[in-house]
Structure 1
Amino acid sequence: MKTNQKKAWPFLAPTIIFVTFFSIYPILRTFVMSFQSGSLINLSWSGLSNYQYLFKDPEFWLAIKNTALYALISVPIGLAISILLAWIIFSKVKHKSFFETTFFMPYVTSTIAIGIVFRYIFNGDYGLLNFVLRCLHLPAPNWIDDPSMSLTTIIIFGIWTSLAFNIVILMGALRNIDPNFYTVADMYGASGAEKFWRITMPELIPTLAFLLTMNIIGAFKVYTSVYALFNGQAGVGNSGTTAVFYIYNKFQIVGTPGVAMAATVVLFIIILFITFLQRKMMKKIGEN
């Protein structure tokens, strides 16, 4: 056994070195930099000053608030729509592979490119969305230039971009459900709704737990969508700023890497805590 372990180390070494230098070291370096101030090439120890600045900065709390609202709204709505579409494709559509490919295309397309397209769709004057709303005699807000609509625009875009990955993963999970379950349910005269809630949903719980975790982590790291939709900004008056956009702004634009790293540490702790709670919750649901 020990001989086999010694032989395994040379094969594991490249991965261990890669993970150490590109994952573990950056995390430790981020934590150290959060206690330092100054420019990137001339950092000096400053204790808790970065954290004190952070917790007194209204822009940081706005970023956390926007990120939390984005996650709380976009993740459950996106998952619900994904489940509905995946179930419809799986149970009603004949050419499933075509629709799977169609839905997955946005996932492999650059978010920046999609964001530029959506910037024109959301345009208040000539955008497609407002054209449809006006045809339906509904209010047509200024999605991009109105500060009160910035977060709503990001949420709509976030829900749409999350569908691709979710649907493909759910389709795979639906294929793995034993068809005999549905055969027995048909024998007992179960309705479509009963089969969905009593067979499909319980069987999807492990997959939903995975998707929920990935979606929550992705929601708290949202940045590219904001950058693309608002042309490198975070909306009018930073109304659509998020936690990662705040970190980018402090590090790259303002030039205070210590504050940016302190915000990174706080965001890391928040994601870790929420992921832990979510996993515990899904575990209890699975046991029940």
Structure 2
Amino acid sequence: MKQNQTKAWLFLLPTLILVTLFSIYPILRAFLMSLQSGSLISLQWTGFSNYQYIFHDPEFWLSIKNTILYALISVPIALAISIMLAWLIFSKVKHQSFFETTFFMPYVTSTIAIGIVFRYIFNGDYGMLNFILRIFHLPAPNWIDDPSMSLATIIIFGIWTSLAFNIVILMGALRNIDPNYYTIADMYGASGTQKFWRITMPQLVPTLAFLLTMNIIAAFKIYTSVYALFNGQAGVGNSASTAVFYIYNKFQIVGTPGVAMAATVVLFLIILFVTFLQRKMMKKIGGQ
């Protein structure tokens, strides 16, 4: 047994080294930098002054508020739409591989490229979205230049971009459900709705737990979408600022890496806490 353990550790050693270098060390380094102030090449220890700064910075709280609202709204809606579309394709469509490929294409396409396209779609004067809204005599807001619509714009874009990954994963999970369940349900005269809620959804709980975790983490780390939609800015008056955009701005633009790392540590703890709550909730649901 001891000889096997030694061999196992030797096989794990390359992975452990990589994880330590690229995951554990950056976290520790970020925490140490959060206790320092000054430029990147001349940092000095200042204790928790950076944390005091961000906790008194209205822009930081705005970015945290926008990030939390984005996660709370976009993740559930995107998952609900993904489940409906995946179930529709799985149960009604014949050429499933074609639709899977179509839905997956946005996932392998650059977010910046998609964001540039959506910037034209969201344009208040000649955008496709407002053109459709005007046809149905609905309000056509200025999605890009109106500060009150900035968060809604990011949410709509975020929902659309997350559908690709969710649908492909859900399609794989649906294929792994034993078809005998549905055969027995048909024998007892179960309706399509009953089969969905009594068979499909309980079987999808592990997959939904995985997708919920991945989507929440991705939502709290949103940056590229904001950068692409608002042309490198965080909307008018920083109305679309998110936690990662705040970190980027303090680190790269303002040149205060200590403040940026303090915000990074706070964001890391928030993601850790939310993920922990989500996992506990999904375990409770799965155990029922």
Instruction: Tell me which residue corresponds to 1:109.
Output: 109
Instruction: Tell me which residue corresponds to 1:36.
Output: 36
**1:72 maps to amino acid:** L
1:279 is aligned to 2:279: yes
1:125-182 deviation line (CA, Å, top 9, x unaligned): 1111111111111111000000000000000000000000000000000001110111
Percent identical residues: 86
Listed as ranges, the gaps of 5+ residues in structure 2 are none
**2:132 maps to amino acid:** V
1:77-104 deviation line (CA, Å, top 9, x unaligned): 0000000000000000000000000000
Deviation at 1:13, TM superposition (A): 2.3
Instruction: Tell me which residue corresponds to 1:170.
Output: 170
Measured in 1, the distance between the counterparts of 2:82 and 2:162 equals 8
Q: Pairwise mapping of residues 93-132 of structure 1 onto structure 2 (< 5 A)?
A: 93-132=93-132
> Secondary structure of 1:168's partner?
helix
Q: Pairwise mapping of residues 17-96 of structure 1 onto structure 2 (< 5 A)?
A: 17-96=17-96
**2:72 maps to amino acid:** L
Moved more, 257-266 or 17-26: 17-26
1:12-60 deviation line (CA, Å, top 9, x unaligned): 2222221111111111000000000000000000011000001000000
**1:128 maps to amino acid:** M
Deviation at 1:185, TM superposition (A): 0.6
**2:258 maps to amino acid:** G
Instruction: Tell me which residue corresponds to 2:208.
Output: 208
Instruction: Tell me which residue corresponds to 1:15.
Output: 15
Report the TM-score when normalising by structure 2: 0.99
Report the TM-score when normalising by structure 1: 0.99
- Please provide the CA RMSD for this pair: 0.7
Deviation at 1:7, TM superposition (A): 2.7
Instruction: Tell me which residue corresponds to 2:240.
Output: 240
> Secondary structure of 1:119's partner?
helix
**1:117 maps to amino acid:** V
**1:46 maps to amino acid:** T
Measured in 2, the distance between the counterparts of 1:13 and 1:272 equals 26
> Secondary structure of 2:43's partner?
strand
> Secondary structure of 2:38's partner?
strand
**1:196 maps to amino acid:** F
**1:210 maps to amino acid:** F
> Secondary structure of 2:139's partner?
coil
Instruction: Tell me which residue corresponds to 1:187.
Output: 187
1:103-141 deviation line (CA, Å, top 9, x unaligned): 000001000000000001001111111111111111110
1:156 is aligned to 2:156: yes
Measured in 2, the distance between the counterparts of 1:106 and 1:66 equals 24
**2:36 maps to amino acid:** Q
Deviation at 1:68, TM superposition (A): 0.4
Instruction: Tell me which residue corresponds to 1:4.
Output: 4
1:231-260 deviation line (CA, Å, top 9, x unaligned): 000000000000000000000000000000
**Large movers: runs of 4+ above 4 Å:** none
Instruction: Tell me which residue corresponds to 1:147.
Output: 147
